[in-house]
Amino acid sequence: MTGPSTRPAVDVVIPCYNYARFLRSCVRSVLDQPGVDVRVLVIDDTSTDDTPEVVAELTRDPRVEGRRHEVNKGHIATYNEGLLEWAKADYTVLLSADDLLAPGSLARAAAVFEANPNVGMVYGRVVYYRDQDRLPKVVTPPAGTTVWSGVDWIEARCRTGQNVLSSPEAVVRTSVQQRVGGYRADLPHAGDLEMWMRIAAVSDIGYVRGKPAAYYRVHQQSMMRTRFSSLFADLEQRQAVFDLFFREHPDLPPRLKSSANRSIAKDALWRAVRAYDRDQLADVPVDELVEFARRVDPGAERLGEYRALRRRRALGPRACSRTQLFVGSHLVKRGRGLVSKQVWKWRGQ
C-alpha cells in the first residue's frame, strides 16, 4: 500500500471557448509532466463547437475535471473561477486551451519554489508556434535559475514599460495567487501585466533558464492578433495598468512610476517619429501621440524621441520618407530591440 505522494502538486486551469480542436494536445501536455502531481480543470465557457464531447472524453482520466457554463461569462470571470474558487494545490497555472506546456516545465518551476520559499511566481521562456506537430527548434541557454526581489522585477517592468510574459509560461504559488486576488475586469486587455506586478509586490520572482517552459500558439483567432484594434489601445492599456498599480501600492519608490511614465511616453513619441519616416501622417495621429506623451510624462519634451520628432517636422514627412535621412537612428533602435529580445530569451528580462 503506497502512502500519500510527496511530489509537488500543481493545479492547471484551462479555459476553453470553441477550441475543441486544440484541447486534447493542451491537456496531454499537462498530464505528461514528470515529477509533479497534476490536476486539470477545463472550463467550457459555453462553446458552440464539440468542446463538451472532447471534455467528456478527457475526464475519463481521474486527474481531469470539466465544467460548462450555462451562459458565456467571458475570459476574466472564467480565469478567476478556476484560480480563486477551484485551485488548491501548491502551485497553479493558467493555460489557454490553444497553448502547450513544455516537457518538464512544471518540475523545473517547482524546484525553484521549493528552494526559495519567498518566490511567488516562476516563469521560463515561451516559444511561439503554429503547429504542435512541428514545434520550432530553439537554441537553449545553459540551464540555471535567477531570482529577483519583487521590487527589482517591478523596476525592470517600469524601465521598459513592457510585459515579458505571455501567460502559459507562468507558475504561481497558489497561496500568493489567492492573496493578491484574481484578474481585474476593468483591465481586459492588459490585466496579465498588472497581475504579475501585483504578485511581485508581495513576493520574489523566479526565472528558469534553459529549456522552454511553454508554447504559445499563434493563429487567426488568437488574442495576439486581435487584442488591439486601436493605435492607442496598447499605450492606454499599459498606462492604465501602471496608474492603477502604483495608486494601490503607494509605498513603492516614486521613481518607479516616473520610469514607467517615461517608457510609455518614449514609445508614443517613437510611433510618431516612424510616421514621419514612412510618410504616414494621414494614417497615424501624430499630434494625439505627442499630446498623450506629454500627458503621461511632463518631461516628454526633454526626451531624445521628442528631439528626433522635432527634426523630422522641420523637414516634413515627404522628405524624411524619400531621403531616408534618419534611417541610421532607426537601425540603431532596431538593433537595440533585437539585442533586448535575445536578452529576454536567455535571461527573462
37-55 tens-digit pLDDT: 999 999 999 999 999 999 9
User: Do 207 and 123 contact (CB within 8 A), yes or no?
Assistant: yes
At a CB cut-off of 8 Å and minimum separation 6, what does 38 contact? 9, 10, 11, 12, 30, 31, 63, 106
pLDDT of residue 229: 43
At a CB cut-off of 8 Å and minimum separation 6, what does 34 contact? 103, 104, 107
CA dihedral 317, 322, 327, 329 (to 10 degrees): -20
User: Do 42 and 24 contact (CB within 8 A), yes or no?
Assistant: no
Strand locations in the chain (E)? 9-16, 37-44, 64-68, 91-94, 100-101, 119-124, 126-129, 144-148, 170-173, 204-209, 214-217
State pTM to two decimals. 0.90
Lookup: cell for 249 = 501600492
At a CB cut-off of 8 Å and minimum separation 6, what does 238 contact? 161, 162, 163, 190, 193, 264
Identify the CA nearest to 156 among candidates 344, 346, 19, 338.
Answer: 344
Mean pLDDT, contiguous 10-residue spans, the chain (349 residues): 77 97 97 98 97 98 98 95 97 97 98 98 93 80 93 96 91 98 90 95 97 87 45 87 96 96 96 91 92 96 95 89 67 57 64
Question: Which residue type sits at 83?
Answer: L
pLDDT tens track for 151-186: 999 999 999 998 999 889 999 999 999 999 999 998
pLDDT of residue 228: 37
pLDDT of residue 227: 39
